[in-house]
Chain A
Amino acid sequence: MRTAAPFARLAGMFASALLLGWSPLGAAVDASTLANLGDAHGVAPCASCHGADGAGQAAAGFPRLAGLNGAYLRKQLDDFASGARENAVMKPIATALDADERKAISDYYAKLPIPAVLAKPATENSKDDSPGALLATRGRWSQQVPGCEQCHGPGGVGVGEHFPPLAGQSDVYIRNQLKAWKQGTRHNDPLDLMKHLSAALSDNDIDEVSAWFAAQPLSARGATP
């Protein structure tokens, strides 16, 4: 249920959380409450790291969730829970959620609009011939590295459930993920695609391409595809 006043809404959810607790098998998982307040079984509120608007925290490398593909988010939560994606912070949280809750939270964030704080106007990026731009838009085919855009879409807006947006993520998050693919500490990529292409990337390549995507324009209107 929604009320007009955010404070009243949060207070109401908090009260219901205290009074009723959570039914893991309940049909109506209140994803908004889980996301913003967590629950009594050790689930920290998503919002405390990813922001109330789902924008993430750039400096800390906590990723944007708002507007991402719901199936992608759900797979990541499932993988955190199973250990297929290793993360010391996310594992206990994802484990404490049941499958219905993980799905509900994924759908919740998928429907959140792209936060205004991430919106940036288009710039002259298309003329950019920096090493990061070349990797992102051209790739390095001599080493079987396609341009990032060829799977993640023009400007890294994301394509479907398997190729998440890179635009609207911080350079810290993108860099951390690329290094994790390369080092093998992240390994939940379909067909090992990221494992293979990241092996050809130097630290400098990773810095450059992460910075390029972090600078890409992003419209605040509408969700990512």
Chain B
Amino acid sequence: MKLRPFGSVPGPRLLALGVTAVLGACSGKPVGGLPATAASAPLPHPSSVSHASSAAAASSADDAANAARKTAFVPPAESTIPEGPYGDMVRLGRAIFTHTRENAGAYVGNGLNCSNCHLDAGRLADSAPLWAAWGMYPAYRKKNKHVNSYGERLQGCFMYSMNGKAPPLDSKELIALETYSYWMAKGAPAGTKLPGAGYPDLPKPAQAPDFARGKTVFESHCALCHGADGQGQKVAGAYVFPPLWGPDSFNWGAGMHSVDTAAGFIKANMPFSRGGSLSDQDAWDVAMYMDGHERPQDPRFTGNVAATRKAFHDNPNSPYGTEVNGHLLGSQPMKK
């Protein structure tokens, strides 16, 4: 089967009310990637050891997926955002987070919102919550091989997950997002990985993640909202359901392009109201299906797919630069 071209997908309009976007690179965990060889031992998630054993035990997996949430830090209620300039900045940060193009359009190059991958406006455990990320920076990141401030980490979200440009560190947009994160982390311990941080690490699947099996999972569980072509659904020009690949999705540098990251997010959170319902194997397979489609080029592209893979994607969880479904991923990146 040939990948279908995305040239017919309408781009977002200026009037977009945006309920959309995604963010893959913004998870709290450093992007490094676990080896995905079938031979390696399962890596149980600290808070969900029980679902490591059986991919078929959907109900116990359901319980396990919720276990982190039950023990997770509870961020302050939105109603407690104070009046005044500080509260105004928190509110602006929230607005940028949930309606990213509308409120930070100069730095956004796709149809996603931060809240597409950080659910509940960045509050949800196991969905890379901001309250768990805030206290983990500054941190050394293998992705760029130096110590990153929280602000620089947010810049990465814009460059990769939002396929846009980095807002300057002193820009109102970044200060608002930092303020929103700081407010949300009030009372959370800093410097320690909290339960519910990032996305769950799923145990390795019994069978290597498979594009064809993933297509079946996608059609039965995902196409309802994301569309049969994975391009999301819009109302009045703005995405309600985000595009999972193609020109309006995250680019090849985003964290969500890694199959392990995507599988953890999907297992814990998809479909809405049914988090934990997919088997681990289904989550891995459908993650492979999503990340086995073309998307915008990695902004670090060296001019050569193989060299770019070697420099930035040399791990088994990145399908970039590999052939999937008869296509060399990264060789025909999507452009607007």
Proximity bits, A146-158, B CB within 8 Å = 1, else 0:
1001110110011
Contact of A144 among B234, B238, B275 (CB under 8 A): B275
Give Cα A87–Cα B7 distance, bound, in whole angstroms: 44
Chain B residue nearest in CB terms to A192: B274
CB distance from B145 to the nearest CB of A (A): 35
Q: List the A side residues contacting B119 at CB < 8 Å.
A: 141, 146
Chain A nearest CB from B76 CB (Å) reads 14
Which residues of A from 167 to 225 have beta carbons under 8 Å from B?
Answer: 190-193, 196-197, 225
Asked if A225 meets B236 with Cβ closer than 8 Å, knowing A139-B120, A150-B19, A162-B224, the reply is: yes
Are B273 and A197 within 8 A (Cβ)?
yes
Q: B236-254, CB under 8 A of A: which get 1 and which 0?
A: 1010110000000000000
Q: Which residues of B contact A142 (CB under 8 A)?
A: 69
- In the bound complex, residues from chain A placing their C-beta under 8 Å from that of B66 are 144
The answer, yes or no, to whether B17 is at the interface (CB within 8 Å) is yes
Once the chains bind, are B272 and A150 in contact (CB under 8 Å)? yes
Q: CA A144 – CA B269 in complex, angstroms?
A: 9
Q: A144-B274, A154-B17, A197-B273 are in contact. Are A159 and B235 (CB under 8 A)?
A: yes
The reply to whether B274 and A193 form a contact with Cβ atoms under 8 Å apart is yes
Query: A162's closest neighbor in chain B, by CB?
Result: B224
B271 with A191: CB separation less than 8 A: yes
- In the bound complex, residues from chain A placing their C-beta under 8 Å from that of B271 are 191, 193
Give per-residue flags for A95-119: 1 if the beta carbon is below 8 A from chain B beta carbons, else 0: 0000000000000000000000000
Chain A residues touching B, range: 20 to 34
Is the C-beta of B225 less than 8 angstroms from some C-beta in chain A? yes
A-B contact count (CB 8 A): 63
Indicate if A75 sits at the interface (CB-CB under 8 A): no
Residue A129 at the chain B interface, CB threshold 8 Å: yes
Query: Does the CB pair B235–A145 fall under 8 Å?
Result: no
Question: Given the complex, which residues of A lie within 8 Å of B121, measured CB to CB?
Answer: 138
User: What's the Cα separation between A7 and B83 when bound, in Å?
Assistant: 60
Task: For the complex formed, measure the closest distance between the CB of A16 and the CB atoms of chain B, giving whole angstroms.
Answer: 40
Known: A144-B274, A191-B274. A154 touches B120 (CB 8 A): no
Chain B residues closer than 8 Å to A153, beta-carbon distance? 19, 235, 240
**Given A139-B120, A141-B124, is A146 in contact with B272 using a C-beta cutoff of 8 Å?**
yes
- Name the residue of chain B whose CB is nearest to the CB of A134: B78
Nearest B-chain residue to A190, judged by Cβ: B224
- What chain A residues lie within 8 Å of B221 (beta carbons)? 191
Number of residues of chain B lying within 8 A (CB) of chain A: 26
- Given the interface pairs A150-B272, A159-B233, the reply to whether A141 lies near B120 with Cβ below 8 Å is yes
Q: Which of B234, B271, B272 has the most CB of A within 10 A?
A: B272
Give Cα A139 to B120, complex, Å: 8
Q: What 0/1 readout, one digit per residue, does chain B (6-39) give for beta carbons within 8 Å of chain A?
A: 0000000000010100000000000000000000
Q: Does B123 touch A at the CB level, under 8 Å?
A: yes
Q: Provide the main secondary structure of the chain B interface.
A: mixed
Bound CA span A9–B189, Å: 73
With a cutoff of 8 Å between Cβ atoms, the chain A residues found around residue B224 in the complex are 162, 190-191
Contacting residues, chain B, for A12 (C-beta < 8 A): none
Nearest neighbor of B72 in chain A, beta-carbon distance: A142
Neighbouring A residues of B123 by C-beta, 8 Å: 141
A149→B119 CA distance, assembly (Å): 13
The residue in chain B whose Cβ has the minimal distance to the Cβ of A160 is B233
Known contacts A141-B119, A141-B123, A191-B221: A146-B273 contact under CB 8 Å:
yes
User: B105-137: contact bitstring with A at CB < 8 Å (1 yes, 0 no)?
Assistant: 000000000000001110110000000000000
Q: Which residue of B lies closest to A150 (CB)?
A: B272
With both beta carbons as reference points, the residue of chain B lying nearest to A157 in the complex is identified as B235
What are the residues of chain B within 8 A of A191 when measuring CB–CB? 221, 224, 271, 274
Complexed CA–CA distance, A127 and B304 (Å): 51
A157 to B275, alpha carbons, bound, how many Å?
Answer: 25
Q: Is B79 an interface residue (CB 8 A)?
A: yes
Cβ B233 vs Cβ A196 within 8 A: no
Chain B residues closer than 8 Å to A139, beta-carbon distance: 120
Whole-angstrom CA separation of A142 from B125 in the bound complex: 9
20 inter-chain pairs at a CB distance below 8 angstroms, sorted by A residue, are A129-B79, A138-B78, A138-B121, A141-B120, A142-B69, A144-B274, A146-B273, A151-B240, A151-B241, A151-B272, A153-B235, A154-B235, A154-B240, A157-B235, A159-B235, A159-B240, A162-B225, A190-B224, A191-B221, A225-B235
